[in-house]
Structure 1
Amino acid sequence: MSRLFAELKLRGTSFRNRAWVAPMCQYSSVGGYPQDWHLVHLGSLARGGAGLVMQEATAVVPEGRITPSDAGIWEDGQAQAYERITSFVRGQGAVVGIQLSHAGRKASTQPPWEGDEYVEAASGGWETVAPSPVAFGDWPEPAELGADEIRGLVEAFRAGAQRALAAGYEVAEIHAAHGYLLHQFLSPLSNHRTDEYGGDLDGRSRFLVQVTDAVRAVWPQDRPLFVRLSATDWVDGGWDVEETVDVSRRLVGHGVDLVDVTSGGLVPGARIEVEPGYQVPFARAVREGAGLPVSAVGLITAPEQADQILVDRSADAIMLAREVLRNPTWPLWAAHVLGDQVPWPPQYQRGRWRR
Structure 2
Amino acid sequence: MTNAPTAGARPLFRKTWFRVLAALAAVVVLAVVVFLAGPRNAFGPNTPSARAQAPQEIAQLDDWVRKSEAAFPDIKPNNDKRIVWAGASGQRTPWAVVYIHGYSASRLETAPMTDLVAKALGANTFYTRLTGHGRPGPAMGEATVQDWLADAQEALRIGQTLGDKVLVISCSTGSTLATWLGTNGHNAQVAGHVFVSPNFGPKDPRAEIINGPWGQQIAFALQGETRGGPAESEAEDGAWTNIYPTRALFPMMALVKGVRESELAAFRSPLLVLYSEKDQTVEPAQTKAAFARMGSATKQMQAVDYSESKGQHVLVGDIKAPKATAPMADTIIRWAQALPTP
Regarding TM over 0.5, the answer is no
Q: What is the TM-score with the length of structure 2 in the denominator?
A: 0.35
Q: Which has the higher contact order (CA 8 A, sep 6+)?
A: 2
User: TM-score scaled by structure 1?
Assistant: 0.34
Larger helix percent? 2
Structure ID, larger Rg:
2
